[in-house]
Structure 1
Amino acid sequence: MRYVVGVDIGGTFTDCVVLDRGGDAGVVVKIGKALSTPPDFQTGFVDALRAAAEMHGVTLENMLGDARIYHGCTVGTNALVENKVARVGLLATRGHTDTIFHMRAGARLKWMPSHYIAHVAKQTKPAPLVPKHLCAAIDERVTFDGEVLVALNEVSARAAIRLLIDRGVDALAISLVWSTANPAHEQRLRELVREIAPDMFVSISSEVSARVGEYERTIATIVNSLIGPPMHFYLDALAGDLAANGYRGDLQIMSCTGGLVDAAHATALPVLTIGSGPVAGLIGAANLARQAQPGESNNVVTADIGGTTLDIGTIFQSKPVRRPTASHGQYEYFVPTLDVRSVGAGGGSIIRAEGAVLKVGPESAGARPGPICFGRGGLEPTVTDAATVLGYLDPEYFFGGRLKLDRAAAERALATLGKPLGMDGPKTAAAAMRIVNSQMADAIWLTLTQQGYDPRDFILYGFGGGGGVHAAAIARELGMAKAVIPLSDLAAGWSAFGITASDALIAESAAVSMVSPFDPAEINTHWRALETRVQGKLVAQGVAVEAIRLTHHAELRYALQINQVPIEAEGGTYGMDAVERMVSTFEGEYERLYGKGAGYAAAGFQLTSLEVRGTTALADIDMASIGLGEPGNGGAPKGHREVHGRTGPTVTPVYDGSRLVPGDRITGPAILEFPDTTVVIDDRSAVGMAAGSVVIELNLSKEPV
């Protein structure tokens, strides 16, 4: 295919990156942006496609006729956040229908803010994902080793299914005890559901999350069913709109595990798409970090700053950091994901005054009505309004000149807000910018330190619509010496680009319960079975066996301890030497996470899960071949404008970023403008270009006392 298309839907904008691989100038990249259109997100999707086609000088139909589309889908995430989910019924083994109500105390607090954890008296359980009257008991029992102790009672099972349907459920979640050892009863229950209600969406836990841990596995299955119907509706509507505009290819969907799955897989397991947009940005950053110059740190923290959220990802030694669980509020569940954490801070974050205190976010103006300066009916000032008033953004060149900003309206609103505090519009804007930058830096600091990392050992990659505006200030506050705006203007649509650079990925896991000394023969049996399942699913998607790359992963813990630690394991056929190396890898990772000497080898080891991931390159993008414009003569500013810095208003040079080439070096203060990205350089920093990226070097010795 000539065109490789990546689309990422955000809270404010839908980004579309299109790579044209058919020209003589190498790969040419253009970004199309359109306002997101909730709840009919497919409309904004097609609008962004059309904008990108216009940038390439072709019609949408001609582009789609020779394209492959990769999509970061936020429908599941949005459905959960907005509580626009299906009405789900739960079928569980008799005696186990209360599992989701008991929860786990530690896990329930794991992802909550520190101030909430500290106030024990204020802690409450969240509303149940499934109310008790929609939970039905199933007569069956399987033992831990897969033996059927009590056969499935199909008569009572049919009655339970009909009862839940009569009570108005839209989808069903089936989670039986020890279905990870023997899924036959869950599979038969699904068949019974389809006999009674053929169109009912059904999830079974042995396919959603084949992991030991009844509570987390059940929650994963329920979440999958909660978002199953809205995901099915969205992908069907999107497929129809794309077909109407000439698209005949398969739609690939980004997953939170860090790879692409086909639309059918995403429809069946939509839980894999939750948080997939930010994950794509992390994948793209990791690919770029691997091409770093010798001697440059390959430890990267990513700051994806959009209109609604800041999404933070970690890359350690060129590899994205993963975690074995995901969460929805206080509910933790088993779905492996790249470790991306989101906080409510972005260009649309609303600025408010509460008494004598100025606050920013987490509420956002979103796409509708948006910031005041957009002129779309917004009434409350936002971070984007502050950036406009401070002179960071050119009102005539925002969005490449496609959206004119009303600076006067933004300044009036900020002046009104700041008047009780004794501040005019620019001072209120400067205070709000300082606050939001500090909030973002705090969130990144917490993310890194919780994982055992020192922020000073990392480089900050800032992308998304606000990455260039905030990156230098955030990096300075964290004590980082360098910040990067990856591939310059492409940073504005970096998550969409990251999707195009991702591989197809299928992961299959097996719940195991082995205590040391581990039997290599049993491990080998699991490896071969998992490899066969992974290869079979990828081949069914049209991938050649020889193109599949397999990696092996395991989860272990010390006996008598509760912390399971995921590690990458070697493949092949295991003997005792391979088993010993796997245990040694676990011990090293455990000490890195919890401190030297924290392990307890004398108690022995437990192997709890094995996983095989299969990947294959789809678009196979070489970042070095990407052309973003016609460079040259970038050392001279294209103009000047007044910018409010830390010492007050200063007439600041403005440069055309697309003209910069490696070797050009600009000392701040300065503004770099690209069609979709603006980079703010303060008076204590310098900037240059490296492999198409903007590299900001912060002079930390010039920090104010």
Structure 2
Amino acid sequence: MRFIVGVDIGGTFTDCVVLDTSADGGVAVKIGKASSTPPDFQSGFVDALRAAATMHGVSLEEMLGDAHVYHGCTVGTNALVEGKTAKVGLLATRGHADATFIMLSGGRLKWMPANYIAHVAKQTKPAALVPRTLCEEIDERITFDGAIAVELNEVHARASIQRLIDAGVEAIAISLIWATANPAHEQRLQHLVREMAPGIFVSISSEVSARVGEYERSVATIINAMIGPPMQHYLAALEVDLATHGYHDKLQIMSCSGGLIDADNARALPVLTIGSGPVAGLIGAANLARTQVGGVNNVVTADVGGTTLDIGTIFAGTPVRRATASHGQYEYFVPTLDVRSVGSGGGSIVHSDGQSLKVGPESAAARPGPICFGRGGTRPTVTDAAAVLGYFDPDYFFGGRIMLDLEPARAALAELGSPFGMDAEATAAAAMRIVNSQMADAIWLTLTQQGYDARDFVLYGFGGGGGLHAAAIARELGMKTAVIPLSDLAAGWSAFGITASDALITESVGLGLGSPFDPATINARLRELEERVLAKLAKQGVAKDAVTLEHHAELRYALQTNQVSVAVEGGVYDGATVGRMVATFEADYERLFGKGSGYAAAGFQLTSLQVRGRAALSAVTLEAIDLESGNSTPEAKTTRVVMWSGERLVTPVYDGSRLPPGSVTSGPAILEFPDTTILVDRDASATIHVSGSVVLTVGAE
């Protein structure tokens, strides 16, 4: 295909990056942006496609007729955040329907902020994912080794299913004890539901998350059921719209595991798409990090969008993963890249509690948006603050596609700051300091919890606001270098990351093996997982010889609760191979939890094996990307008055696309690209890397 299309839907904008592989001497890349259009996100999707096609000088139909389309889908995430999920009923083994209510006791605090954990009297349990009235207990029992201790009572099961149907559920989650060892009863219940109510979405735990851990597995299954119907509705509508405009290839969907799955897989397992947009940005950053832009391949990413800051970590060129994800206080089993989100972005609302200024987490989103956009917004945002400080050219925002009206924003900021004796500019400067500090704090916490020191990393700032905040965040974290990846492409970096992603299928099996581990059991289970991975990739159109397999094991100390997933060898296991697996686990455990924190004398448990299969869907490399970089003598195109640390300075403004590789710009300065604005503070300098990236050196002489 001539065009490779990546689309990422954010809370404020929908980004579309289109690579034209027919360009002479390289691959031409263009960004199309459009406002997101909730609740019918497919409309904004098509708008962004059309904008990108126009940038390439072709019609939408011409582009889609010769394209692969890859999509970072946020429908599941948005449904959870907005509470617009399906009504779900739960089928559980008798005596086990309360697992999600008990919540592993203190485990519900794992993802909560420190100030919440410290105030014990204020702690509360979240609203139930499924009300107790919609939980049905099933007579059956399978033992830990897969043996059937109690046969499934189909008469009672049918009665339970009928009660849920009569209650008006739109989806049914099925999570039975030890279905990881033997899924037969779950599969039979799934068949009964489809027989009795063909239109109801069914989610079974042995397919969603075949890992030992009843609570986390049940939560994953319920969340999959909650977002199943909205995902099916969205994909059906999107595929109709795409077909109407000439697209007839398979639609590939980004998963939170860091790769692409086909639309059919996304329909069945929509839980895999939660958080997939930010994950795509991390994948793109990892590809660039391997070239060591910025001097090292340890990278922390700051994806600054309109609604959130999304943080990812790349260590030694490889994105950091985690074995679980979370929805509020609920933790669930889904293998995912470790991307964490906080409510700090360009649309974050600046407000006051009467004693101090606050920024976020509430966002103005796409509608009404910042005041300066003129779409009805009345509450000032971070974007309004940046505009008032002079960071943007009001006539050139997004390359002139949006005209900024500064006076209403200035008036709102002045009114907000008046009780504190601050004018509009002082209020805007305070808001920027607050949001930069919040972003830096969130990144520091992420790296610390992963066992890393921020000073060993370089910061990659992307998304619509990455260039505005990167230098300030790096300074607060003690970093010397920040990178704006591929200059203007940073504004649509997550969409670009989608185009650079591989097809990826992950298959897991839950185990309950105690040490010493039996190599024969490990070998048999790994071969089964490999066959399942290859079969699913074949359905995705991937040839067997194009697949690279990766193997992982999850272990824990026998008398301790923390499980750690480690990369392991994938060949034939023997005593020596098992020993190396255990040694890898002990090293990672010590890094995460501290020296001497493991108790090896009690033995080890192998709780899960996992096989990931990946294959490149595109032959495009970073080196082939043509950014149309400048080759002229770097001269400022204009100057304007900008507020820098409370001081108004006449500041040179450069056309970033005309700066040649190797050129160095000292601060204070602003680099403007059509979709990206980069601040070069007074103590910083900006160098144009040969890749087209902008490397900011903080603390420059």
TM-score (norm 2): 0.99
Contact persistence 2:426–2:646 (CA under 8 A)? no
Q: Write the distance in 2 (CA, Å) between the matches of 1:354 and 1:454.
A: 34
Q: Write the distance in 2 (CA, Å) between the matches of 1:352 and 1:269.
A: 39
CA shift at 1:168, angstroms? 0.8
Q: Write the distance in 2 (CA, Å) between the matches of 1:629 and 1:673.
A: 15
The answer to whether 1:661 aligns with 2:660 is: yes
1:202 is paired with a residue of what secondary structure?
A: strand
Identity %: 71
The answer to which of 355-364 and 249-258 deviates more is 355-364
| Post-superposition CA distance 1:385-429 (Å, at most 9, x none) | 000011111111001101100112211111111112111111111
Partner of 2:60: 60
CA shift at 1:517, angstroms? 1.1
Residue pairs, 1:128-139, within 5 angstroms: 128-139=128-139
Contact persistence 2:629–2:661 (CA under 8 A)? no
Partner of 1:204: 204
The answer to whether 1:564 aligns with 2:563 is: yes
CA shift at 1:661, angstroms? 2.0
| Post-superposition CA distance 1:21-47 (Å, at most 9, x none) | 012131000000000000000000000
Q: Write the distance in 1 (CA, Å) between the matches of 2:279 and 2:621.
A: 19
- Paired residue type of 1:314: T
Partner of 1:537: 536
1:96 is paired with a residue of what secondary structure?
A: coil
Contact persistence 1:18–1:31 (CA under 8 A)? yes
Partner of 1:372: 371
Moved over 6 A (4+): none
Partner of 2:41: 41
Contact persistence 1:634–1:656 (CA under 8 A)? no
Contact persistence 1:634–1:657 (CA under 8 A)? no
Contact persistence 1:302–1:462 (CA under 8 A)? yes
Partner of 1:437: 436
Contact persistence 1:350–1:361 (CA under 8 A)? yes
- Paired residue type of 1:601: A
Q: Write the distance in 1 (CA, Å) between the matches of 2:307 and 2:178.
A: 41
Residue pairs, 1:231-250, within 5 angstroms: 231-250=231-250
Partner of 2:116: 116
Q: Write the distance in 2 (CA, Å) between the matches of 1:86 and 1:140.
A: 27
Task: Give the alignment's Cα RMSD to 1 decimal.
Answer: 1.0
The answer to which of 351-360 and 506-515 deviates more is 351-360
The answer to whether 1:150 aligns with 2:158 is: no
Residue pairs, 1:73-84, within 5 angstroms: 73-84=73-84
| Post-superposition CA distance 1:176-197 (Å, at most 9, x none) | 1111000000001010011101
- Paired residue type of 1:607: L
CA shift at 1:630, angstroms? 4.5
| Post-superposition CA distance 1:349-373 (Å, at most 9, x none) | 1111222311111110000000000
CA shift at 1:647, angstroms? 4.6
Partner of 1:555: 554
| Post-superposition CA distance 1:108-136 (Å, at most 9, x none) | 00011111100001111111100011011
Partner of 1:303: 302
Contact persistence 1:26–1:625 (CA under 8 A)? yes
The answer to which of 503-512 and 295-304 deviates more is 295-304
CA shift at 1:624, angstroms? 1.2
- Paired residue type of 1:398: F
Where in structure 2 are there 5+ consecutive unaligned residues?
Answer: none
Number of residue pairs matched? 700
Q: Write the distance in 1 (CA, Å) between the matches of 2:246 and 2:104.
A: 50
1:324 is paired with a residue of what secondary structure?
A: strand
Contact persistence 2:212–2:510 (CA under 8 A)? yes
Partner of 1:270: 270
Q: Write the distance in 2 (CA, Å) between the matches of 1:479 and 1:630.
A: 31
- Paired residue type of 1:234: Y
Partner of 2:687: 688
CA shift at 1:499, angstroms? 0.5
The answer to which of 396-405 and 593-602 deviates more is 593-602
CA shift at 1:595, angstroms? 1.3
Contact persistence 2:686–2:695 (CA under 8 A)? yes
Partner of 1:643: 642
- Paired residue type of 1:450: Q
The answer to whether 1:679 aligns with 2:678 is: yes
Partner of 2:338: 339
| Post-superposition CA distance 1:1-36 (Å, at most 9, x none) | 100000000000000000000121310000000000
Q: Write the distance in 2 (CA, Å) between the matches of 1:218 and 1:663.
A: 54
Q: Write the distance in 1 (CA, Å) between the matches of 2:437 and 2:620.
A: 35
Q: Write the distance in 1 (CA, Å) between the matches of 2:174 and 2:214.
A: 12
- Paired residue type of 2:66: D
Partner of 1:508: 507
CA shift at 1:260, angstroms? 0.5
Contact persistence 1:560–1:603 (CA under 8 A)? yes
Q: Write the distance in 2 (CA, Å) between the matches of 1:599 and 1:630.
A: 52
Partner of 1:98: 98
Q: Write the distance in 2 (CA, Å) between the matches of 1:301 and 1:541.
A: 32
1:367 is paired with a residue of what secondary structure?
A: coil
2:510 is paired with a residue of what secondary structure?
A: strand
The answer to whether 1:8 aligns with 2:8 is: yes
Q: Write the distance in 2 (CA, Å) between the matches of 1:271 and 1:634.
A: 51
| Post-superposition CA distance 1:220-262 (Å, at most 9, x none) | 0000000000000000000000000110111000000111000
TM-score (norm 1): 0.98
The answer to which of 221-230 and 534-543 deviates more is 534-543
The answer to which of 30-39 and 442-451 deviates more is 442-451
Q: Write the distance in 1 (CA, Å) between the matches of 2:620 and 2:587.
A: 34
Q: Write the distance in 1 (CA, Å) between the matches of 2:674 and 2:574.
A: 57
CA shift at 1:620, angstroms? 2.9
Cα 1:505–1:566 shift into 2, 3 Å:
same
Q: Write the distance in 2 (CA, Å) between the matches of 1:392 and 1:379.
A: 21
CA shift at 1:327, angstroms? 0.5
- Paired residue type of 1:93: T
Q: Write the distance in 1 (CA, Å) between the matches of 2:502 and 2:583.
A: 30
Contact persistence 2:369–2:376 (CA under 8 A)? yes
Q: Write the distance in 1 (CA, Å) between the matches of 2:594 and 2:99.
A: 33
The answer to which of 349-358 and 332-341 deviates more is 349-358
Q: Write the distance in 2 (CA, Å) between the matches of 1:594 and 1:129.
A: 31
- Paired residue type of 1:449: T
1:631 is paired with a residue of what secondary structure?
A: coil
Partner of 1:577: 576
CA shift at 1:105, angstroms? 2.2
The answer to whether 1:455 aligns with 2:454 is: yes
- Paired residue type of 2:297: N
Where in structure 1 are there 5+ consecutive unaligned residues?
Answer: none
Partner of 1:521: 520
